[in-house]
């Protein structure tokens, strides 16, 4: 891509991911309390309802991910990203005004439908960076997300003390401001010669799967990604509920813990991904990241002290290497004209993992923290997450290396 356009495009993509992460993180400390208020339920029941909210988002993203990805391959990244940002802003406004739980579910449905900002941003970054530097580009996305996750929960924890709805309105305003900035500053990243006709047959999860199965090495990595992302979804599905139940943390303390996670993620993905990929390659980085994730989940499951959470987070910070490495391994194996479709398919995998996660983790947390459980074990959900991460690691260790699309041609 032309250098004059690459810089503003990169700035907007990273800014979009930053705002996305801020919006995602800003509501996490207050969402459990809002569910309790609207549903007039206990915190354990709120954890179960929170799982259904995430499931709603994931179902809509699962269906719409490949559709949006194929639209970006046909019409370009710019219009798709801008429309997605409009949906982002509307979603948080709807949830902020929600008079009942049904409105929260409506907001999550809107978010899932327009949740293409993340996958389309990855496709745009694949347009900007060539194959050898793509892991670094994806690492910058992870760093932007991590930085947003520092700011978001911290702000959410503070302003959430003044009202459970205020963080939603702040997130909506940030999305609207970023939409206005992108309208004037974001150039198109997908060259016209790399665009292709839109076909409904491949603009769905099954169609994308059938198309990508012909790309050597993509599907095994996709399976690894699915198991790993299912484990990763332990955080958005249960963290706020788990830490309140296990350690009686306040929204402010939950915000601090999420901000610390975001800072570690940002540091690793901004400073460590590029050098470590050059030194060890994407596959070894993925092995390190997934292995450390499994260790972290296992420790969270049995840890009895709130302060030790921060020690575990810090000691296993290199787990953040896993995401950029797996994304780069898949991206390198498809041509430029299919990057949007690939990222749409990856969005569907992410959504499928988000569908699976609340069905596993939230009921486990709710049951093993209730008086009906044979043993009090709120960490049961993290034990399950550790098993999923370990499965991803085993599959990766037995997966053969495959060359990039460029090498194949």
Please report the pLDDT score of residue 126 as a whole number: 86
Please report the pLDDT score of residue 404 as a whole number: 47
- Average of per-residue pLDDT across 283-289: 96
The full 3-state SS of the chain, as one line of letters, equals: CCHHHHHHHHHHHHHHHHHHHHHHHHHCCCHHHHHHHHHCCCHHHHHHHHHHHHHHHHHHHHHHHHHHHHHHHHHCHHHHHHHHHHHHHHHHHHHHCCCCHHHHHHHHHHHHHCCHHHHHHHHHHHHHCCHHHHHHHHHHHHHHHHHHHHHHHHHHHHHHHHCCCHHHHHHHHHHHHHHHHHHHHCCCCCCHHHCCCCCHHHCCHHHHHHHHCCCCCHHHHHHHHHHHHHHHCHHHHHHHHHHHHHHCCCHHHHHHHHHHHHHHHHHHHHHHHHHHHHHHCHHHHHHHHHHHHHHHHHHHHHCCCCCHHHHHHHHCHHHHHHHHHHHHHHHCCCCHHHHHHHHHHHHHHHHHHHHHHHHHHHHHHHHHCCCCCCCCCCCHHHHHHHHHHHHHHHHHHCCCCCCCHHHHC
Please report the pLDDT score of residue 228 as a whole number: 95
Please report the pLDDT score of residue 73 as a whole number: 87
Please report the pLDDT score of residue 63 as a whole number: 80
Per-residue pLDDT at 48 exceeds 90 = no
Confidence tier at 68 by pLDDT (50, 70, 90):
confident
Please report the pLDDT score of residue 276 as a whole number: 93
pLDDT tens digits, residue range 208-249? 666 667 677 788 999 999 999 999 999 888 898 899 999 999
Confidence tier at 405 by pLDDT (50, 70, 90):
very low
Q: What is the mean pLDDT of the chain?
A: 86
Please report the pLDDT score of residue 304 as a whole number: 94
Dihedral sign of CA atoms 301, 304, 305, 311 in order: negative
Among the ranges given (54-68, 77-91, 232-246), the one the predictor scored with the smallest mean pLDDT? 54-68
Higher pLDDT, 330 or 66: 330
Confidence tier at 408 by pLDDT (50, 70, 90):
very low
- Domain annotation for the chain: domains and CATH numbers: 3-185+201-408 (1.20.1250.20)
Please report the pLDDT score of residue 144 as a whole number: 87
Q: How far does CA 256 lie from the centroid of its chain?
A: 19
pLDDT tens digits, residue range 324-368? 899 889 988 888 777 777 877 787 788 788 788 888 998 899 899
Please report the pLDDT score of residue 55 as a whole number: 82
Please report the pLDDT score of residue 288 as a whole number: 97
- Average of per-residue pLDDT across 189-212: 75
Confidence tier at 407 by pLDDT (50, 70, 90):
very low
Specify the pTM: 0.73
pLDDT tens digits, residue range 20-38? 888 878 887 888 888 988 9
pLDDT tens digits, residue range 145-195? 878 877 887 788 788 888 889 998 998 999 999 999 999 989 999 888 888
Please report the pLDDT score of residue 406 as a whole number: 42
Per-residue pLDDT at 93 exceeds 80 = yes
Confidence tier at 197 by pLDDT (50, 70, 90):
confident
């Amino acid at each position: 891509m032309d250098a004059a356009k690459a810089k503003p495009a990169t700035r907007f993509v990273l800014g979009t991911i930053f705002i996305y992460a801020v919006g995602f993180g800003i509501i996490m400390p207050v969402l459990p309390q809002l569910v309790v208020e609207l549903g007039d339920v206990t915190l354990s029941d709120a954890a179960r309802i929170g799982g259904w909210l995430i499931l709603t988002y994931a179902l809509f993203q699962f269906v719409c991910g490949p559709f949006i990805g194929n639209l970006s391959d046909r019409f370009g990244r710019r219009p798709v990203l801008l429309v997605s940002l409009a949906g982002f802003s509307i979603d948080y406004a709807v949830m902020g005004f929600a008079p009942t739980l049904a409105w929260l579910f409506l907001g999550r449905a809107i978010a899932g439908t327009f949740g293409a900002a993340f996958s389309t941003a990855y496709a745009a970054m694949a347009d900007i960076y060539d194959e050898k530097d793509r892991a670094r580009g994806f690492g910058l996305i992870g760093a932007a997300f991590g930085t947003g996750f520092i700011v978001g929960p911290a702000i959410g924890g503070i302003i959430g003390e003044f009202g459970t709805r205020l963080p939603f309105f702040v997130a909506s305003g940030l999305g609207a401001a970023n939409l206005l900035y992108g309208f004037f500053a974001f150039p198109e990243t997908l060259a016209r010669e790399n665009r292709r006709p839109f076909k409904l047959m491949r603009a769905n999860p099954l169609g994308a799967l059938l198309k990508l199965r012909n790309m050597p090495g993509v599907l095994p990595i996709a399976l690894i990604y699915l198991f790993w992302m299912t484990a990763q979804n332990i955080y958005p599905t249960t963290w706020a509920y788990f830490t309140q139940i296990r350690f009686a943390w306040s929204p402010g303390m939950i915000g601090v813990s999420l901000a610390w996670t975001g800072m570690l993620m940002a540091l690793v993905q901004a400073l460590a991904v590029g050098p470590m990929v050059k030194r060890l390659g994407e596959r070894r980085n993925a092995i390190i990241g997934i292995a450390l994730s499994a260790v972290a989940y296992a420790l969270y499951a049995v840890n009895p002290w709130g302060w030790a959470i921060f020690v575990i987070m810090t000691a296993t910070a290199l787990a953040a290497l896993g995401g950029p490495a797996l994304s780069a391994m898949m991206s390198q194996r498809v041509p430029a004209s299919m990057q949007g479709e690939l990222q749409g398919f990856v969005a569907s995998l992410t959504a499928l993992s988000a569908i699976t996660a609340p069905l596993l983790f939230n009921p486990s947390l709710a049951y093993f923290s209730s008086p009906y459980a044979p043993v009090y074990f709120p960490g049961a959900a993290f034990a399950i997450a550790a098993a999923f991460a370990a499965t991803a690691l085993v599959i990766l260790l037995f997966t053969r290396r495959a060359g990039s699309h460029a090498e194949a041609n």
